Amino acid sequence: MTISIPRGTKDILPGEVEKWQLIEKKARELCERYQYQEIRTPVFEQTDLFARSVGDTTDIVQKEMYTFTDRGGRSLTLRPEGTAAVVRSYVEQKMYGFPNQPVKLYYMGPRFRYERPQAGRYRQFVQFGVEALGSADPAIDAEVIALAMNLYWELGLRKLKLVINSLGDTESRNAHREALINHFRPRIGEFCSDCQTRLEKNPMRILDCKKDREHELMKTAPSILDYLNEDSRKYFEKVQQYLKDLDIPFEVDSNLVRGLDYYNHTAFEIMSDAEGFGAITTLCGGGRYNGLVEELGGPETPGIGFALSFERFIAALEAENISLNVKQEIDCYIVAVGEKARDYSVKLLHKLRMAGFSAERDYLNRKIKGQFKAADRCHAKYAAILGDNELEANKINLKKMDTGEQEEISLDEFIDYFKSIME
Ligand code: HAM
């Protein structure tokens, strides 16, 4: 019996993986431009970290975590997201004392959520994200959003919709919380059992419920924007002003609450507007989390960031019919015929590679025609053709594959010659 891949995961094969590499490369390049530095944290963390940061009334913590007990009896969880671990590390490594402030970090790697698999929703998916810690300047909110938009734009996406909201500061959120409780309490019996527990613990989560989405009370629920105090309103206005200054189009949606508990002030999502993208349109989500560092034992420190998944990024590219320009060619393919020539080609191939070229030879004992076909399949720029007779005469033929031009070169000088024409 064959063993199949776990549900909700996928293999990324050559041909497809180059797209991932290209997005990775572009993301790193942008982070360099925006001055974010890479951080790598473990794939698993203590379970409490996520309960305390993502929030124990969220779907992620309640239903979706891959949690296990290790042989030492510790409860560990495969990371469902990246922010909690970055903040854990920020506190543990005392990054608030680093000379360069704010601390601007980025990360890439797999996340794990036990979700119902469907198009765009996996149980293992790869996120790229950034976190800026230590600044409460609304200009950083705009910078973080600009970085995400720029990554999509530079890889060709056009059909994007940026949606922003403000969840306000603690005072505003408390006022909104009261209003939500008053709104839902009289008819809470009509809601799912999760929402019933959310009512007192975290009523905002009700707005994020997948089951009760269509309930009429959802549509008339009090909007957070009506409960923002002066400071929160001013902050939100400033973020909007900066986005306008940067020519980044956006919509304000007071229903945007995000699925994680640590947010306050700015929250945002970037969606794909492309036809045929499918039901799940959110490509990227993020926001401000000013209380999280303190919650995890550090000093009072503001923070903001976002994360996006490669899986949905690639799906959005496909929905917009954008094929990434992935280079798949090699410099030289050695076509060797005859036993001595084949033996010699092992050495020649090594020399080419040592000189910095991408090179390949036949390993299947193909006839000359088959070797040329293989050279074509590799998109070789040149074929170096060697037979036993040429070897004896210290010669090799070099064929330029696109024009068919061929020339004979002294074998001893081959590498130097090849270097000179490839310069
Ligand atoms: P999130 O909204 O849970 O936020 O996830 C961010 C992005 O990850 C989503 O917009 C989506 O593109 C992708 N994503 C989430 N779940 C899946 C899945 N099952 N399959 C494929 N892609 C998925 C966070 O994770 C926050 N940590 C973002 C953040 C960083 N906020 C501040 N800093």
Model confidence at 272, pLDDT cuts 50, 70, 90, reads very high
Pairing verdict, β 282-288 and 330-337 = unpaired
Residue with CA at minimum distance from ligand 1 atom 14: 309
Query: If pLDDT is split at 50, 70 and 90, which confidence band does 208 have?
Result: confident
pLDDT in tens, 147-172: 999 999 999 999 999 999 999 999 99
Residue 258 · residue 267 · CB < 8 Å: yes
Answer yes or no: is pLDDT of 116 > 90.
yes
Output DSSP code: residue 123: S
Token reading at 165: 């909201």
Condensed to tens digits (0 to 9), the pLDDT of residues 166-201 reads 999 999 999 999 999 999 999 999 999 989 998 988
Ligand 1 atom closest to the Cα of residue 121 is 20
Confidence of residue 277 (pLDDT cuts 50, 70, 90): confident
Q: Which domains does the chain have, with CATH numbers?
A: 17-169+229-319 (3.30.930.10), 330-422 (3.40.50.800)
Q: Please give the average per-residue pLDDT across 368-395, as a whole number.
A: 97
User: Which residues does ligand 1 sit against, CB inside 6 Å?
Assistant: 81-83, 113, 115, 120-122, 125, 127, 129, 131, 259-260, 282-287, 305-309, 311-312
**What digits encode the pLDDT tens for the residues 305-321?**
999 999 999 999 999 99
User: How much is the pLDDT for 213?
Assistant: 87
- Please, is 180 exposed, middle or buried when counting C-beta atoms within 10 Å of its C-beta (0-12, 13-18, 19+)? buried
Of all protein residues, whose CA lies closest to atom 18 belonging to ligand 1?
121
CA 86 to centroid of ligand 1, rounded, Å: 15
397 alpha carbon to ligand 1 midpoint, in Å?
Answer: 54
Give the ligand 1 atom nearest the CA of 131: 33
Atom of ligand 1 nearest to the CA of 123: 19
Q: For residue 364, what are the contacts with CB-CB under 8 A and spacing of at least 6?
A: 370
- Secondary structure class of 222 (helix, strand, coil): coil
Residues 6+ apart with CB under 8 A from 8: 114, 115, 117, 121, 122, 123, 124
Helix (H), strand (E) counts: the chain: 15, 16
Mutate to test the pocket of ligand 1, among 60, 281, 309 (most ligand atoms within 8 A of CB): 309
Q: What is the structure's pLDDT at 322?
A: 94
Of ligand 1's listed atoms, the one at least distance from the Cα of 54 is 27
Of 53, 64, 111, the one to substitute when testing ligand 1's pocket (max ligand atoms within 8 A of C-beta) is 111
Q: Compute the distance from residue 34 Cα to the ligand 1 centre, in Å.
A: 21
Mean pLDDT on 26-45: 98
Q: In what order do the strands lie in the sheet with 330-337?
A: 359-361, 330-337, 380-387, 395-400, 406-410
Q: What are the Cα distances from residue 353, in Å, to 358, 374, 381, 409, 423?
A: 6, 18, 15, 19, 15
Atom 7, ligand 1: residue with shortest CA distance: 308
Residue closest via CA to ligand 1's atom 31 equals: 286
The pLDDT tens digits for 352-363 are: 999 999 999 999
Query: Taking Cα atoms as reference points, which of 384, 393, 372, 284 lies closest to residue 332?
Result: 384
**pLDDT given for residue 273 in this prediction:** 92
Which residue CA neighbors atom 30 of ligand 1 most closely? Answer: 306
pLDDT score, position 205: 87
In whole angstroms, give the CA distance from residue 344 to residue 233. Answer: 74
pLDDT at 158: 95
Reported as a pLDDT band with limits 50, 70 and 90, residue 47 is: very high
Residue nearest to ligand 1 atom 4, measured at CA: 285
Euclidean distance between CA atoms 26 and 32, whole angstroms: 10
Residues 6 or more apart whose CB falls under 8 angstroms from that of 244 comprise: none
- Work out which ligand 1 atom sits closest to the CA atom of 305: 33
**What values do phi and psi take at 55, rounded to 5?**
110, 135
**Average pLDDT of the segment spanning 35-50:** 98
What Rg, from alpha-carbon coordinates, does the chain have? 28
Length of the chain: 423
Atom of ligand 1 nearest to the CA of 258: 2
DSSP labels for 139-190? HHHHHHHHHHHHHHHHTT---EEEEEEE---HHHHHHHHHHHHHHHGGGGGG
Which of 9, 79, 81, 295 is the best mutation target for the ligand 1 pocket, counting ligand atoms within 8 Å of the beta carbon and taking the most?
Answer: 81
Task: Give me the chain's average pLDDT, please.
Answer: 95
The whole-number pLDDT of residue 84 equals: 98
Quote the percentage of the chain above a pLDDT of 70: 100
Residue to mutate (ligand 1; options 272, 282, 296, 310; most atoms within 8 A of CB) = 282
- pTM equals 0.93
Distance CA 87, CA 12 (A): 30
- Band (279; pLDDT cuts 50, 70, 90): confident
Question: What residue's CA is closest to ligand 1, atom 20?
Answer: 121
